[in-house]
């Protein structure tokens, strides 16, 4: 390409938005970010103003969702969805012009999406893509709109997040739920204890435990106390003392987590 490709970035949360911008600067330094949007309606307004060649859209945004913005764009720009939700429908984009990247953004995966977009933007007269680059043909406008309509319907169903954002000092960390050991709540905050890269760490979120429980996959997490939710795979054993009180031991952790009597029935021996 003879000119720098123009990009629009849209995400309603600052931390992942900045992370994406930093990652794009590394994997696609030739790109020109002409617009950064903070919500869906802003993304559409900025698209109308700049008509960028490529749009990186968060799916879950207030007002217009990323899916709805993509429907309005209607194939006039290459769209890459950036989302914390691993919806199964997103896998369909692997065969078409539109790609997706899961949060937290990994540079290797983002680079793959960028190569696909570059292939799409490359004029027919240019040389074919290098080995390893995707050369999948663009889907028809009708097929693309049908796929976006399906995603829009899927978006109406509550999705289970795979990543949560938590504060550690002035830093906002993106914590994968599969790394979480347990959540412990008090009157103001919920403590998140997790294990990443072999090291245990902690962070705080403002989400009350009852709201958090509704968002978590019940196949992966279990409430054991009014103030504690534990990831099931992190449990090593359940121990009952002489007074009938029960505690859980976690793999690789010294502390014991209390189990309320109403939840003790979850840990009956076979």
Same domain, 150 and 189: no
User: CATH number of the domain that 221 lies in?
Assistant: 2.40.50.1020
**Number of C-alpha atoms within 13 angstroms, CB side, residue 144?**
22
pLDDT at residue 175 greater than cutoff 80: yes
CA distances from 25 to 40, 52, 68, 195, 251 (A): 23, 17, 27, 29, 39
Q: What's the pLDDT score for residue 134?
A: 46
- Let me know whether 13 and 145 are in one domain: yes
Segment 222-235 shows an average pLDDT of 94
Query: Which value, in Å, is the radius of gyration of the alpha carbons in the chain?
Result: 22
Q: How many domains does the chain have?
A: 2
User: Span 48-57, mean pLDDT?
Assistant: 96
Q: At residue 46, does pLDDT exceed 50?
A: yes
Residues 20 and 116 in one domain: yes
Q: Domain check: are 196 and 124 in the same one? A: no
Q: Is residue 1 part of a domain?
A: no
- 96 and 15 within one domain: yes
Give the CB-side neighbour count of residue 137, counting CA atoms within 13 A. 4
Q: What percent of the chain has pLDDT over 90?
A: 43
Q: Name which residue leads in pLDDT, 269 or 211.
A: 211
Q: Are 141 and 75 in contact (CB under 8 A)?
A: yes
Shared domain check, 168 and 45: no
Q: Are residues 171 and 112 in the same domain?
A: no
Residue 136 lies in a domain: yes
Q: Of 62-76, 155-169, 171-185, where does mean pLDDT reach its minimum?
A: 155-169
Q: What is the spatial distance between Cα 40 and Cα 191, in angstroms, rounded to a whole number?
A: 31
Of 114, 134, 155, the last residue of a domain is: 155
Residues 42, 146 within the same domain = yes
Per-residue pLDDT, 120: 85
Q: Where are the alpha helices (DSSP H) in the chain?
A: 14-27, 40-50, 66-73, 107-121, 141-155, 209-215
Which domain-ending residue is among 155, 183, 205? Answer: 155
Question: What tokens appear for 167 in the block?
Answer: 């504060």
What is the CATH classification number for the domain harbouring 106? Answer: 3.40.50.2300
Question: Would you give the distance in Å from CA 157 to the centre of its chain?
Answer: 16
Q: Which of 35, 153, 141, 155 is nearest to 98 (CA)?
A: 141
What average pLDDT does the chain have? 82
Q: Kindly state whether residues 137 and 169 are assigned to the same domain.
A: no
Residues 70 and 170 in one domain: no
Q: What is the DSSP letter of 31?
A: -
- Say which range, 80-94, 191-205, 213-227, has the weakest mean pLDDT: 80-94
13, 19 contact by CB (below 8 A): no
Contact 47, 8 (CB under 8 A): yes
Domain with 146, as residue range(s), is: 6-155
CA dihedral 22, 23, 24, 29 (to 10 degrees): 80
Do 23 and 151 lie in a common domain? yes
pLDDT band at 122, cuts 50/70/90?
Answer: confident
Residue whose C-alpha is closest to residue 23's, from 9, 34, 12, 43: 9
Among residues 105, 121, 155, the one where a domain terminates is: 155
Residues 144 and 261 in one domain: no
pLDDT confidence tier of residue 183, bands split at 50, 70 and 90:
very high
What was the pLDDT predicted at 260?
94
Backbone torsions φ then ψ of 140, nearest 5 degrees: -65, 155
């Amino acid at each position: 390409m003879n000119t720098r490709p123009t990009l629009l970035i849209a995400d309603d949360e600052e931390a992942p938005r900045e992370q994406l911008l930093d990652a794009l600067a590394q994997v696609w330094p030739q790109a020109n970010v002409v617009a950064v949007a903070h919500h869906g309606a802003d993304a559409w307004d900025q698209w109308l103003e700049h008509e960028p060649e490529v749009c990186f859209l968060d799916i879950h945004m207030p007002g217009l969702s990323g899916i709805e913005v993509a429907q309005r764009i209607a194939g006039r720009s290459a769209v890459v969805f950036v989302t914390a939700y691993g919806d199964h429908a997103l896998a369909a984009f692997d065969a078409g012009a539109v790609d997706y990247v899961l949060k937290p953004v990994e540079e290797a995966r983002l680079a793959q999406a960028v190569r696909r977009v570059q292939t799409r933007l490359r004029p027919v007269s240019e040389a074919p893509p290098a080995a390893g680059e995707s050369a999948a043909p663009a889907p028809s406008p009708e097929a693309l709109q049908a796929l976006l309509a399906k995603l829009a319907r899927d978006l109406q169903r509550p999705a289970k997040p795979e990543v949560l954002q938590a504060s550690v000092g002035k830093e906002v960390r993106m914590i994968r739920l599969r790394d979480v050991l347990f959540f412990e709540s008090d009157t103001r905050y919920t403590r998140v204890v997790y294990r990443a890269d072999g090291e245990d760490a902690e962070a705080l979120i403002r989400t009350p435990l009852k709201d958090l429980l509704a968002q978590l996959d019940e196949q992966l997490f279990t409430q054991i106390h009014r103030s504690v939710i534990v990831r099931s795979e992190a449990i090593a054993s359940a121990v009952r003392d002489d007074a009938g009180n029960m505690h859980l031991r976690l793999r690789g952790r010294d502390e014991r987590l209390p189990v309320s009597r109403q939840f003790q029935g979850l840990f009956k021996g076979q």
